[in-house]
Amino acid sequence: MPTHTITLRNGIEMPTLGQGTWFMGESFFEKKNEIAALQHGIDIGLTLIDTAEMYGNGGAEKVVGEAIAGRRDKIFLVSKVLPNHASLRGTVRAFEDSLKRLKTDYLDMYLLHWRGGYSLEETFEALEKLRQEGKIRSWGVSNFDTDDMQEAEEYDPDGNCCINQVLYNLGSRGIEWALIPWQKKRNIPVMAYSPLYQTRLLRSSGLVRIAQELSITPAQLALSWLLHQGTVPIPKSSNAQRIEENRKAWDIELSQEVLRELDRVFPPPTHKMPLDIL
């Protein structure tokens, strides 16, 4: 059975399945439903919430802030700084703005959303400053390929980078060739965004067939597979029933036979591939 938590390299415990918020906070008319959806997820144990200042131009963070009001202590909260804000001073400024929208005084994890014009040395200095001041409990990166992670290691001699959030799902397995093995050796987990490939996977006849044979939904199968890989999927949904289905992925045990069949339908990479990005 997939584990419900992992211990990061800095000793902090993190849930292995969460809720994403990409595309939330973009419509006033959806806000109430989005808040209710996140709260329902929290109620059934999905306490890891991932957001970013980019999502809805800060709107997603405001939605999250309302959803976690009165229950912040139960939440593992992740947000991200845009690369054009990721200077020494800009990172701190963006972070403080995120805190205001989220109505909290700390983050459990803060990520560089992707690489930009500022040096990793400068961005990491800002992230480490926030960590040492107790404003963030951990930090990491997002959309980093193997060569990016190797360079990042040069500016992180104490091993404080705790996670890399990248696109990873049954339909996009390129990181298994080099990136995942490199990170596993260093105890840096992968957080998988768009774990259902923005619902594209759910239209796969192979996935649907295997899920039907197991009497589970295609989404549950796709999420359970990611959990079996030791990664941290963060599906986004505003539908209460789907959120409940996502939560049950934690309780699904996939046999070696099923895993082999998934490899047949969704072949793993046979060579190094560029990092897939949405």
Would you write out the chain's pLDDT as a tens digit for each of its 278 residues?
Answer: 788 999 999 999 999 999 999 999 999 999 999 999 999 999 999 999 999 999 999 999 999 999 999 999 999 999 999 999 999 999 999 999 999 999 999 999 999 999 999 999 999 999 999 999 999 999 999 999 999 999 999 999 999 999 999 999 999 999 999 999 999 999 999 999 999 998 899 999 999 999 999 999 999 999 999 999 999 999 999 999 999 999 999 999 999 999 999 999 999 999 999 999 98
Is 118 a known active-site residue? no
Q: Is 4 annotated as a binding residue?
A: no
Taking every pair of Cα atoms in the chain, the longest distance, rounded to a whole number of angstroms, is: 54
Which of 108, 127, 136, 98 is CA-nearest to residue 15? 108
Residues 6+ apart with CB under 8 A from 242: 219
Range 24-30 contact pairs with CB under 8 angstroms and sequence separation of 24 or more: 24/51, 24/55, 24/56, 24/59, 24/60, 24/63, 24/64, 24/236, 24/238, 25/55, 25/56, 25/57, 25/58, 25/59, 25/60, 25/61, 25/62, 25/63, 26/56, 26/59, 26/60, 30/238
What's this model's pTM, rounded to 2 decimal places? Answer: 0.96
Predicted local confidence at residue 278, as pLDDT: 87
Helix (H) or strand (E) holding 208, with range, is: helix 205-214
For residue 50, the cross-strand partners are: 20, 78
Tokens 């109505």 belong to residue: 103
Q: Of these residues, 55, 110, 193, 197, which one is catalytic?
A: 55
